Amino acid sequence: MERIKTDVCIIGAGSGGLSIAAGASQMGASVVLLEGHKMGGDCLNYGCVPSKALIAAGKLAYAMSHTGDLGVKAVKADVDFAAAKDHVRKVIETIEPVDSQERFEGFGVNVIREFGKFISQTEVQAGDTIIQARRFIVATGSGPFVPPILGLEDVDVYTNENIFDLRDRPKHLIIVGGGPIGMEMAQAHLRLGSKVTVIEGAKAMGKDDPEMAAIVLDKLRAEGVEIIEEAQATKISGSKGAKGKVTVHTPKGDFTGSHLLMAVGRKVNVENLDLDRADVKWGRGGVEVGADLRSVSNKKVYAVGDAAGGLQFTHVAGYHAGVVIRSMLFGLPSKQRTDHIPWATYTDPELAQVGLTEAQAKEKFGGNVEVVRFPYHENDRAIAEGKTTGLIKVMVVKGKPIGASIVGAMAGELIGMWAMAIANKMKMSAIAETVLPYPTVSEINKRAAGAYFTPRLFESPMIKRVVGLVQRWLP
């Protein structure tokens, strides 16, 4: 058994673990990084990257056959499903070097390709190596949660871990779960030529503002995705193999297709870490941490990303890395915030959120919250592009945005301005006073801010009186 002493031992080389390894090693700490499976974790191999690559292929196919009134003749896109999967693979391969073992070894990180588990409060074992560290980071991420539904073992089950390897186009893909994974995959597969049914136990896109989610769901339904809500999957039947069939039984009826994708949420990877041996409290949601991301029961141990039990996004894992580095390397007080974290679902139209939704804002601030809105169909660039479906809503308290929801083209890009405003506690005037290039869709941000000031400026008797007075005095 080899023994290593190090400043920092990171368990998991996904978005969170890699960010800490890069930062800590380049700032002079000795770092051991453990990865039992693929460098890059979920985001690169089974999550964000392949899903967005597949969505891009679907988007192109849809654009070719839906040219609208722009004077360009629509054609039926000739989709080669296997070639679309080649594209997915190439995108992963292009990004892969950034997360590679070689790159991190170049930073001086000791990368050990083994699963690790705690053997004491200060030691982790990975294969034949025992790592004694001053600080540990649990960055083990999450995997697909597959609930024990009766009959599931009789059919081939796809999850985000194997759906991107499927090279034959599913004739009829049944997706159980109408969250972001379900909806993104539904539209991508439909546009690449599959029939798609989504079975959702509650409301599809249920974590988002219902008004905004409805705009996405209407579009998906109009394109042909069958979405059955309030239909908990209670039983599955069917057969395995190339000619296999699957039927999902729900209180709203039985739905039969050729392939089954389970997208009903995530299971955090903490069960196999022997956390109890390190006196680290944990639960099904992840490691129990405080706002400083340190274990509530063992201050030498931090958790980041999906393993920290909060929002499950790559940019959150990256943000956690900064919080931990500040505390771990410099001994400075460092706490995470969650009020400024944005997210986006990359359906078409996209749906993006930062801060509180309208309902959350009204619950928290009651009558003190003002909601300003601006529709895409009044934005000149959106009109020119024929992309007029969409809306922005901004929730404002005492002149400051506390939440923004955007549904429409490029919503994931547009939300950035509000993420910056909320992160930096900026006022609505900061957005209103920013000059944006015309004609851009980003002007909807400025127009929403304008909508906040319009009644104050144009409907105020006081302003009218002041202007009248000044005009009489000005030469």
Ligand X SMILES: Cc1cc2nc3c(=O)[nH]c(=O)nc-3n(C[C@H](O)[C@H](O)[C@H](O)COP(=O)(O)OP(=O)(O)OC[C@H]3O[C@@H](n4cnc5c(N)ncnc54)[C@H](O)[C@@H]3O)c2cc1C
Chain positions contacting ligand NAD, by CB under 6 A = 147, 176-182, 184, 199-202, 206-207, 232-233, 263-266, 312-313, 343-346
195 is a site residue for ligand X (CB under 6 A): no
Q: Is 213 in contact with 350 (CB distance < 8 Å)? A: no
| 293 touches, from ligand NAD, ligand X, none (C-beta below 5 to 8 Å by class) | none
Would you count residue 58 as binding ligand X (CB under 6 A)? Answer: no
**Binders of ligand X in range 128-157 (CB under 6 A):** 139-142
74-82, 290-298, 300-308, 368-376 -> range binding ligand X (CB under 6 A): 300-308
Nearest distance from residue 328's CB to ligand X, in Å?
Answer: 16
Q: Which 3 state secondary structure label does DSSP give 274?
A: coil
Q: Which of residues 234-263 bind ligand X (CB under 6 A)?
A: none
Q: Counting contacts by CB under 6 A, is residue 315 touching ligand X?
A: yes
Evaluate whether 342 touches 354 at the Cβ level (below 8 Å): yes
Is 143 part of any known ligand binding site? no
140 is in an annotated binding site: yes
Q: Which of 8, 24, 29, 34 binds ligand X (CB under 6 A)?
A: 34
**At 422, is the secondary structure helix, strand, or coil?**
helix
Tokens of 426: 């900026």
Residue closer to ligand NAD (CB basis): 319 or 346: 346
Dihedral sign from CA coordinates of 92, 208, 142, 124: positive
Q: Which is nearer to ligand X, 115 or 452 (CB)?
A: 115
Q: Which region among 39-47, 62-70, 81-89, 402-410 touches ligand X (by CB under 6 A)?
A: 39-47
Which of the choices ligand NAD, ligand X, none does residue 315 contact, using the CB cut-off of 5 to 8 A by kind?
ligand X
SS3 212: helix
Contact between 178 and ligand X per CB under 6 A: no
Residue placing its CB nearer to ligand NAD in the complex, 319 or 343: 343
Count of CA atoms in the C-beta half-sphere (13 A) of 411? 31
CB of 461 to ligand X, least distance (A): 48
Those residues with Cβ within 8 angstroms of residue 240's Cβ, 6 or more apart along the chain or in another chain: 154, 155, 156
Residue 408 as a binder of ligand X (CB under 6 A): the answer is no
Q: Measure Cα distances from 64 to 57, 67, 194 in Å.
A: 11, 6, 17
The residue (of 313 and 376) whose beta carbon lies closer to ligand NAD is 313
Q: CB–CB of 345/183 below 8 Å?
A: yes
Member of 6, 110, 122, 160 binding ligand X (CB under 6 A) = 160
The C-alpha angle 223, 256, 230, rounded to 5 degrees, equals 70
Within 142-258, strands assigned E span: 142-144, 157-158, 172-176, 195-199, 226-228, 235-238, 246-250, 253-257
Among 36, 182, 201, 342, binds ligand X (CB under 6 A): 36
Is position 37 an interface residue for ligand X (rule: CB under 6 A)? yes
d(CA 252, CA 356): 33
Tell me: does residue 350 bind ligand X (CB under 6 A).
Answer: no
Minimum distance of ligand NAD from residue 327's CB (angstroms) = 24
> CA dist 48 to 161, 345, 368, Å?
12, 10, 37
Question: Could you tell me the strand order of the sheet in which 157-158 lies?
Answer: 157-158, 259-262, 172-176, 195-199, 226-228
Report the interface residues with ligand X, using CB under 6 A: 11-17, 34-38, 41-43, 46-48, 51, 115-116, 139-142, 160, 181, 269, 272-273, 305-307, 312-315, 317
